[in-house]
Structure formats: structure tokens, C-alpha cells
Amino acid sequence: MTVLEKATTRGGAPSPEAPARRRPSVSWLLTVGLVVGLLVLVPVAAGVGAYPIPVGDVLGSVLHRVGLGGGELDRVAESVLWNVRFPRIVLALLVGASLGCAGALMQGVFGNPLAEPGVIGVSSGAAVGAVAAIAFGVNFLGTWTVSVFAFVAGLGTVLLVYAMSRSGGRTEVVTLILTGIAVNAFAGAVIGLFLFYADTAAVNQITFWQLGSLAQATWPKVLAVLPCAVLGLAVAPWYARRLDLLSLGERPARHLGVDVERLRVVLVLVIALLTAAAVSVAGIIGFVGLVVPHLLRMAAGPGHRFLVPGSALLGALVLLGADLAARTVAAPAELPLGVLTALLGSPFFFWLLRRTRRRQGGWA
């Protein structure tokens, strides 16, 4: 023990480093809990539905498919499980992980707890692309048309926002956010214009897409989002230490060797990749990227080494649970997933605002 450590623990007073030593144990416990939660929820979600399948049969079918024993189910159960339920579950995991991770990165890059992926225009841009494809009846890519248009438009919007907010070789956070707000407003007006000229069938399809849903999940859609999600989720944790340094402020981070501008460019692109891929296949699903990082930050602290991958795990768990609720609460009807996440996320966020204001007098 160093002299400083002795001084800080003398007289029975707790050392300031004690929480830092305890923090990894909290992080590991949360990680184990999230993984166990996913392992429990996945077979439950696979078995629950209009055609119920016992959890034991679900596990047996999975073991049979991977060659570890188990047994094959009847033809209908196998088809429901592997052609309907599992594509939807995997898509929910990928979309939830992407949105949760993107939210943690956004809040770290902008140093603002109110930041979420939609701030930089990726969600509204993707919506414009999807709505344009539906309203004008574009179908030259078949079932992939809406997803491809949404993905390309989402990425293009982020690049536009970044180019418009850049000046003198640098990008200010406030300018980037304000530009994103302006672009979001413009995108909303364009969507309204498309809705005005679209026919009734197109309006219904656009409305369904904007509300968010995984009802159209298929293995091809899983394969479409998989490369983007895996790439973004793999790259994000490598920047955790630099995000911790950036949280000290731009000037201290630069003195500690962080290329702030390059970090911001790379992470904005990663955020755009994750969010555009998620929105393109699931529609607009709000509050996951905003609320999930807050929950983990309250439980384990602000360190990004755990916060970034933990947000991916919790985002996957939250969205899978929300999707399970969306298709069972009002059965045989199905609630829009984006509506459900907003209904559940909004009260939590109001509580979080009140809690923070009561403890700190506002956002510090």
C-alpha cells in the first residue's frame, strides 16, 4: 500500500479507490445476469405464441439441429419454430443490441445524457428513404427495396449532417446537434408530403413501418442486418477508453493523446451504421438507445469499458422482452413495437429527469 493509500484509509475513513475496486465486480455480476436473462428469455419467447411449444421441446429441437441429441418436432412445430419464431428472435436481439450500443456511444461522444441515435438524423433519414420507396411504389429490389432505401438514406443523412456542421476542419458538438435537429424537422416535413400524395394502401404501409415492428422478420432480413450489426458491435468497445478520456472534456482528452475529431468521426459513422441497419428492418423504435445506457450507468457507473458492451446486451434483452409482450399482450392482435417501447420508456425517462433534478438540481 502506498503512502497515499494509507493516508486515504487512515482513521477508518473509506478510500476513494474502494468504489473503483468494487466496480468490476458489479460489472461482472451485471454481465452474467444479462447473459443468463437472454439464455432464459430466448427459449421462452420461442415457445410462446398462437401455436405454443413447450420450452423443453424448443431446447430439444435446438440440440437436435446442432447435433447434440434432442429430438425433431413434428413438421408444423419445426416450421413455426425455425421459420417464424427464431428469425424474429434473432432480429430482435440484433436490433436491440445495435440500438443500445448506439445510444451508449451517442451519449459518450456528445457528453450529453439526453443524446440518442435519432439526434443526428439517422432515424428520420432512414424513414424518408423507406417512405419514399413505399409512396412511389418502388419495387425493383423486391422485398429488399424498403430496407435498402432506408439504410442508404439513413447513412446519407448522417454524412450530410456531419458535412454541414463541419467548419475549419473541426466539428462542434452543439453545431452537430442543432444541424441534426434541423434535418430531422425537414425530414418530418418530407415524410408528411409523401403521406399527402400516397394512396390509402401506401399510407397504411407507411404508418405500420413508422410504428416499428418485427412481424415481417425472415432469415434474409437477419442476414441483411447481421454484417452491419456485428461490425459496429465489434468496433465500438475498442473506443471505450478514449470515450472515458473524452468525458473529462475535449481539452484534457487532447492533452492525454486523444484525437478528438477523428474519434468523433469514427464513432458517428459506427452509430449511423448500427442505427440505420436496425431502422431499415424494424422501423422506428424509440427510447431503447436513450434509456438502456442510463439504466446501466445508474447500476455500474459511467465507465465505457462495461457501458458499451453492457448496453448491447441489455438492449437485446429489453427489445426481445418488448417484442414478446407486443405479440402476446393483445393476442391475437399485435401491438406496434415502437409504440410499446415508447409507452414503457417515457414514464421511466420522466422519473429519471425528476430524480436527477432532485439530486443535482438539473443535468450537470
| Sequential DSSP letters for 125-172 | HHHHHHHHHHHTT--TTGGGHHHHHHHHHHHHHHHHHHHHHEETTEE-
Angle between helical axes of 86-110 and 288-300 (0-180°, round to 10):
70
Instruction: Decide which of 129 and 169 is more confident.
Output: 129
Average pLDDT, the chain: 84
Domain boundaries, the chain: 52-331+339-359
345 or 101: whose pLDDT is higher? Answer: 101
Residue 52 pLDDT > 80: yes
Question: The C-alpha cell of 113 is what?
Answer: 445524457
Using only C-alpha atoms, the chain has a radius of gyration, in whole angstroms, of 22
* Phi and psi at residue 330, to the nearest 5°: -115, 30
Q: What angle do CA 298, 38, 126 make, to 5 degrees?
A: 75
Three-class secondary structure assignment of 241-274? HHHHHHCCCHHHHHHCCCCHHHHHHHHHHHHHHH
pLDDT tier for residue 48 given thresholds of 50, 70 and 90: very high
* Residue 2 pLDDT greater than 60, yes or no: no
The answer on pLDDT for 152 being more than 70 is yes
Asked whether residue 3 carries a pLDDT value surpassing 50, the answer given is no
| Cβ contact 114:364 at 8 Å | no
Cβ atoms within 10 A of the Cβ of 117, count?
Answer: 29
Higher pLDDT, 94 or 18: 94
- pLDDT, mean of residues 51-65: 91
DSSP 3-state assignment of 285?
coil
Q: Is the pLDDT of residue 87 over 60?
A: yes
pLDDT of residue 32: 94
Out of 28-37, 52-61, 296-305, 342-351, pick the least confident. 342-351
pLDDT of residue 169: 66
Residue 74 above 80 pLDDT?
Answer: yes
pLDDT band at residue 360 using 50, 70 and 90 as cut-offs: low
Interval 227-236: pLDDT, tens:
889 999 999 9
Q: Is a pLDDT exceeding 80 seen at residue 11?
A: no
Confidence check: pLDDT of 44 > 80 = yes
Contact 100, 316 (CB under 8 A): yes
Q: With cut-offs at 50, 70 and 90, classify the pLDDT of residue 93.
A: very high
pLDDT band at 82 (very low <50, low <70, confident <90, very high): very high
Cβ pair 91, 85 in contact under 8 A: no
Rounded Cα distance, 333 and 324, in Å: 13
262-301 b/e (C-beta count within 10 Å ≥ 16 → b)? ebbebbbbbbbbbbbbbbbbbbbbbbbbbbbbbbbbeebe
pLDDT tens-place string over residues 185-221: 998 899 888 888 888 888 888 887 788 889 888 998 8
Top-confidence residue, 70 or 135:
135
pLDDT at 10 over 50: no
Name residue 185's amino acid: A
Rounded Cα gap, residues 351 and 298, in angstroms: 13
Q: Which residues pair with 170 in a beta bridge?
A: 167
- Bridge partners (DSSP) of residue 166 are 171
pLDDT in tens, 301-356: 889 999 999 999 999 999 999 999 999 988 788 888 988 888 888 887 788 777 76
Distance (Å, whole) CA 160 – CA 165: 9
Q: Is the pLDDT of residue 260 over 70?
A: yes
pLDDT band at 24 (very low <50, low <70, confident <90, very high): low
d(CA 131, CA 191): 7
* CATH superfamily entry for domain 52-331+339-359: ABC transporter involved in vitamin B12 uptake, BtuC (1.10.3470.10)
